[in-house]
Each structure stands twice: as structure tokens, then as C-alpha cells.
Homo-oligomer: A and B are copies of this chain.
Amino acid sequence: MSGEFGIVRRCFAPLAKGEAALGLGDDAAVFSPPPGRSLVATADAMISGVHFLPDDPPDTIARKLLRVNLSDLAAMGAEPLGYLLTCAWPKGWKEDWIEGFAQGLAEDQERYGIALLGGDTVGTPGTLSLSLTALGTVEAGRAMTRSGARVGDSVFVSGTLGRAAFGLLVRRGGLLGLNQDLRTALTEAYRLPDPRLDLGRALVEKRLATACLDVSDGLLADLGHICQASGLGAVLWSEHLPLSEPVQEAVAEDLETFPLVLTGGDDYELCFTAAPGAAEELMSLAQQLGLPLTQVGEMQGGSGVRVLDRDGNALIVQAEGWQHF
């Protein structure tokens, strides 16, 4: 049998491992968080031509959809548990594309130790539209939020900034001065973010962060969210922003691209605040995880985010982050 049931059974049923999903054969998934842990839920949508390019490989589209949601769980310090997926396929969508998509999910399920819990596949006269709800658990009462930052807290980011935004530039035919290796590295960062689940978990376990979120809209906008939720302002030091080699080269090539480091979306690094005394423990955590953690600024009174250059002069950054809509 072809149609909805055939494709679900063939491609997606094998992804529904574990008792919770009831083999996708039932109306809903049933599961219980372990004692002492709360449930965490988040949902993100991705649309062809908006959040990925139509000719991106289907397996990386699937994995990005999963990972941007896992990144939200990471930002709360949660352990992922499973996900529900709805897909709206354009009529006549190729089955081998769907198979590649399911293969990408299978690969990342394995990597993150999670399973498909349920969902829906429908046809659409429009564009390929995907929506994923990720569920996880966190120690009860310990989920990190955006609202706990205090005056004097240090602002940290994990990894490096701007890779995804510069990767999108490459995909759109820009940054032609860069060599192929650097272009490929940037493209891959755009296609396949790396949700910082280990970092999120460690920050909760060690009680190191006062506020946390993932950088999906650009550091400037996202730190702005922490400021707003915490009722504070913040300063960012432009010369401390951690840049990967390809981004350094791209900025050297064209200085005009520098604001993308602050406003480019899709990095999915964690931005968090921590008491000044936590610095040493954070440096040892960074070493343990093999993931740079860089202090990029400080929480202050007032409101909004100011960006200062090495001489302490305020930089004007045009676009306040990335808005999908």
C-alpha cells in the first residue's frame, strides 16, 4: 500500500523504538519521566526555502530539524528523551528523499539516544513544511531559564560565533575569496548545528549558570532576551568574540561582514551568565568537554546590550539579530 500509511510504516515506524511510541501504531505516546525529574518540551518549525535550501541534502535537513530542538533542550540543561514529528510533503514528493530524511533521523537518534514518539504525515499543495516537538527531562526545579542573571555576572558563549551565518553566505554564492576547505567548513556548520547538550547538563549539575539560552537569533538579540527576562542590561566586548578560522578569514576578506558575527542566526551555541567566581570551574569544564567557553561580556544595570570595541567605544550594529518572519 502506498500513501500515508505505507510511507509511515516503511520509513518512520523503525524510528519508533521503545515502549513509549507504541510502535507509532496508537493515537499517542505514553511515558513517564524518571522520579525527581521534570518534563521539558519545545517545538520548532522549518520551511523549505526559509530555514533550509531546497537542494540541501534530506538527511542534513532532518538532522538540523532535530538538532535545533535539542539545542532548546540543551539551553534548559535537559536530557533529551524523544520527539514527535509532523511532515507536510508536497504532492508527488520523491520517496527516496523521504528515505534520506528518515535515514538522517535514524543516525541522530542513535547519536543522542532518543526515539520517535509519534506524529503525522500529510500532503500539502504548498512548500515542504516540517515541525518537530522535542521532549526531555531535567532535575526538578533546576531547569535553566533566561531570567536569573545578576549585575556583575559574566556573559559566556560556547564554541565560536557566526559560522552558520557565514555558511549561509557561502551557500548563496558569497565569500568567493575563501578557499574550498573553509567554504565547506562554513557550509557544514550551517547545515548541521551541534546542540550543546553536554554543556547544558553540566551547567545544571554543577549549578554554574544563572541564566542560559541557545544562540538561534544572533548573540546580540539573544543576549537581549536574557537582559529583558532578567531586567538588566549587558555589555559585549567585540574583541573577545570567539571566531573560528573560516570566519576570521571571511571577516579579514570583507570587514563589512563583521556584524554577522553578532546578528547571524543558527549558531546554536549556548550563551549563559555566571557569577564571576565561577570562571575557574568553567575553564576546567571547557577543557573536560573539549569545547571553548569564552567570556564575551558582563551583565550590568539598565537595559539592552551595548557592544564596545577594544578602546571602549560603542559600536553601532544595524540589524538587531535575525528575525525569521
Q: Which residues of A contact B (CB under 8 A)?
A: 3-5, 7, 22, 25-33, 38-51, 72-73, 75-76, 78, 84-89, 117-127, 129, 131, 133-136, 138, 140, 143, 145-147, 213-214, 225, 229, 323-325
Closest chain B residue to A39, Cβ basis: B31
Contact B214 A27 (CB under 8 A): yes
Is there an interface contact between A213 and B325, defined as CB atoms closer than 8 Å? no
Complex Cα distance, B45 from A155, in Å, reads 39
Q: Using Cβ atoms and an 8 Å threshold, which residues of chain B touch A84?
A: 41-43, 133
Q: Contacts A39-B30, A76-B27, A86-B43: A50 and B122 contacting too (C-beta < 8 A)?
A: yes
Looking at the assembled complex, report how far the CB atom of A19 sits from the nearest CB atom of chain B, in whole angstroms: 11
Tell whether, in the assembled complex, residue B126 and residue A72 are in contact, meaning their CB atoms are under 8 Å apart: no
Give the residues in chain B near A89, CB-CB below 8 Å: 325
Partner of A47, one of B30, B44, B126: B126
Q: Are B117 and A28 in contact (CB under 8 A)?
A: no
Instruction: Please tell me which one of the listed residues B41, B51, B146 contacts residue A29 in the complex, with CB atoms under 8 A apart.
Output: B41
Measured between beta carbons, the chain B residues less than 8 angstroms from A28 are 40-42, 72-73, 75-76, 78, 134, 136, 143
Most buried by B among A26, A38, A45: A26
Could you tell me if A126 and B127 are in contact, using CB atoms closer than 8 angstroms?
A: yes
**How far apart are A169's CB and chain B's nearest CB, in angstroms?**
20
Residues of B close to A50: CB separation below 8 A: 122-125
Q: How far apart sit A87 and B122, CA to CA, in the bound complex (Å)?
A: 15
Task: Kindly name the residue among A50, A86, A87, A229 whose own CB sees the greatest number of chain B CB atoms within 10 A.
Answer: A86
Known: A26-B145, A29-B41, A32-B39. 19 other contacts (CB 8 A): A4-B323, A4-B324, A5-B323, A25-B146, A25-B147, A26-B146, A27-B42, A28-B76, A30-B39, A31-B39, A41-B84, A47-B123, A47-B124, A48-B126, A84-B133, A86-B131, A124-B126, A124-B129, A126-B127
Residues of B within 8 A of A125 (CB): 47, 49-50, 126-127
Least CB distance from A217 to B in Å reads 9
Chain B residues in 8 Å Cβ range of A138: 30
Expressed in whole angstroms, the minimum distance between the Cβ of A36 and any Cβ of chain B is 10
Task: Name A25's closest neighbour in chain B (CB-CB).
Answer: B229
